[in-house]
Chains A and B, each alone.
Chain A
């Protein structure tokens, strides 16, 4: 397929990085600290690129990206605790629940304008937080839900790497296809998009479902790694971190978001000694990026290396 050939380089790079990450496990003699750090980095990459599909491509600024992961993780956790069914089936149901949860933001998005969509997505995050804290007998309140370890850390580490690679390549192919063009046109101008024949409802919902599908995969993988899911997944910190990583990495390129998610999640870990100032440093970084390089790290690099500068006013000479 032509698209695959065009994206060959991207796929190759994703493959090399994934391979490199996979080797880290035996190379570090299965150091659980390192494996844990990199697993979480892979999951952050998944969350942030999925956010980028909505915010960067479709113009849906989602402040509750981890709602999808949380719904999927809680579903799997409840199934693990209360039903002794086949595990693949449980994971499948969790995945389905997480994916469908995107309709909660997808359907309102058909009716409200972009800036109100951000508010709606934030409200839904708060609602889920409240639900988990209110129905304690079901969701375990503050403690969340825990299960004994079922998969080894190594298995989950390799799973996370594979999921990250699949997510990156899939989303890259999606945004370079007809679907990606539809999403970008919706971001740019919904009325014009409709005027040239794009069914904006269908494509908005599609973007939500795709984004939530991969986010749910990450959420389930993260749940099995921790053996635990708690209300903090619906907390503000997590989903806002996704937004910050995406903005700093660079919206609308997939790879910029991946870079932001990967680098910042590891940086976050090294900021542990100054934990109290973490949010402060993060916020300052965000302000600096927004002011100095509004296209994010990736966007700024792309501008630097572009052969023909785009900022050139074209006027007149029509006739």
Chain B
């Protein structure tokens, strides 16, 4: 069986800075994968490369058995790969409803995934992210918490199979994080594959089945959450050399 997403030997430079160095990983269908690493490790760059916003200098990305290394973000969305942004980027002058509905309009062939009509589908998404009561409001007036939820809602518009979530917990309260975790778990139960970049490790470890650790553009660990939290290299990357010597 071929992997759902297969990222092979990705290199990405910005001038002399190497953001990603020989980075490879695979994700199986239905997996819930966490992607962590200290600030500047290259997590968001990796997202940008996978989703077509950046072109890798070398390496290959295979999605559903197709080489998508040179694909545009919109082509990937049509194939079912959708991302969210760390800092919410809503369509401010459109209503909350339209922010979600817009994705369904440009990937109509993907609506086969569900038996619901477009309108019902959008309503279900809005209810799942708790924004149904404000669906007629303009997205621009939502507060940060609601905007993070809207990112999740909007990303579901194109009937995705694979969601790449860039820090879905950033700036949220404990209660909101629990809500978002629950939404993500539900999405995974519906059969979606999720890759999550996060800094809030405690909450992330509870959610995901596998964790990949990035450090200075390299993969330093890949395994189950409980293995990762014991990994010496990971501790070193996060907490510095001295700490890991004293305690490991």
Interface residues of A (CB under 8 A from B): 178, 181-182, 184-185, 187-189, 191-200, 252, 308, 310-316, 318-319
State A189–B92 Cα separation when bound (angstroms): 9
Contact B77 A197 (CB under 8 A): yes
Q: Which residues of A contact B143 (CB under 8 A)?
A: 313-316
Minimal beta-carbon separation of A8 from chain B (angstroms): 21
Can you name 24 A-B pairs with beta carbons within 8 Å?
A184-B93, A184-B94, A191-B53, A191-B85, A191-B89, A192-B90, A194-B53, A195-B83, A195-B84, A196-B102, A196-B103, A196-B154, A196-B158, A197-B74, A199-B72, A199-B106, A308-B136, A312-B137, A314-B141, A315-B143, A315-B145, A318-B130, A318-B175, A319-B175
Contact A181 B73 (CB under 8 A): no
Minimal beta-carbon separation of A193 from chain B (angstroms): 8
Q: Which residues of A contact B154 (CB under 8 A)?
A: 192, 196
Contact B145 A318 (CB under 8 A): yes
Contact A197 B107, CB 8 Å, known A185-B102, A314-B142, A318-B145: yes
Q: Which of A196, A310, A312, A315 touches B106 (beta carbons < 8 Å)? A: A196
Interface residues of B (CB under 8 A from A): 51-53, 72-74, 77-78, 82-85, 89-94, 98, 102-103, 105-107, 130, 134, 136-138, 141-143, 145-146, 149, 154-155, 157-158, 175-176, 178-179
- B77: nearest chain-A partner, CB-CB: A197
Contact A314 B146 (CB under 8 A): yes
Q: Which residues of A contact B103 (CB under 8 A)?
A: 196-197
State A252–B82 Cα separation when bound (angstroms): 28
- A188: nearest chain-B partner, CB-CB: B91
Contact A314 B51 (CB under 8 A): no
State A206–B15 Cα separation when bound (angstroms): 35
Contact B85 A192 (CB under 8 A): yes
State A315–B145 Cα separation when bound (angstroms): 8
Q: Which residues of B contact A252 (CB under 8 A)?
A: 93
- B48: nearest chain-A partner, CB-CB: A191
- Select the residue from B82, B103, B130 with max chain A CB neighbours within 10 A: B103
Minimal beta-carbon separation of B174 from chain A (angstroms): 9
Minimal beta-carbon separation of A177 from chain B (angstroms): 9
State A312–B133 Cα separation when bound (angstroms): 13
Contact B98 A181 (CB under 8 A): yes
Contact B102 A313 (CB under 8 A): no
Chain A to chain B: the 4 pairs with minimum beta-carbon distance, closest first? A197-B77, A188-B91, A196-B103, A194-B73
State A316–B74 Cα separation when bound (angstroms): 33
Q: Which residues of B contact A188 (CB under 8 A)?
A: 90-94
Q: Which residues of B contact A194 (CB under 8 A)?
A: 52-53, 72-74, 77
Contact A197 B158 (CB under 8 A): yes
Contact A313 B176 (CB under 8 A): no
Given contacts A197-B74, A314-B146, 13 further A-B contacts (CB under 8 A): A181-B105, A188-B91, A194-B53, A194-B72, A195-B51, A195-B82, A196-B158, A197-B107, A198-B74, A310-B138, A314-B141, A315-B143, A319-B175
Contact A318 B92 (CB under 8 A): no
Q: Which residues of A contact B141 (CB under 8 A)?
A: 310-314
Q: Which residues of B contact A182 (CB under 8 A)?
A: 105-106
State A114–B74 Cα separation when bound (angstroms): 20
- A182: nearest chain-B partner, CB-CB: B106
Q: Which residues of B contact A313 (CB under 8 A)?
A: 141, 143
State A185–B94 Cα separation when bound (angstroms): 8
State A318–B174 Cα separation when bound (angstroms): 11
- Select the residue from A182, A192, A198, A308 with max chain B CB neighbours within 10 A: A192
- B138: nearest chain-A partner, CB-CB: A310
Contact A318 B146 (CB under 8 A): yes
Contact A189 B176 (CB under 8 A): no
Q: Which residues of B contact A315 (CB under 8 A)?
A: 143, 145-146
Contact A196 B142, CB 8 Å, known A189-B89, A314-B137: no
Q: Which residues of B contact A195 (CB under 8 A)?
A: 51, 73, 77, 82-85, 155
Q: Which residues of A contact B137 (CB under 8 A)?
A: 310, 312, 314
- B154: nearest chain-A partner, CB-CB: A196
State A13–B141 Cα separation when bound (angstroms): 33
Minimal beta-carbon separation of A309 from chain B (angstroms): 11
- Select the residue from A182, A192, A196, A318 with max chain B CB neighbours within 10 A: A196
Minimal beta-carbon separation of B112 from chain A (angstroms): 15
Minimal beta-carbon separation of A79 from chain B (angstroms): 40
State A314–B145 Cα separation when bound (angstroms): 10
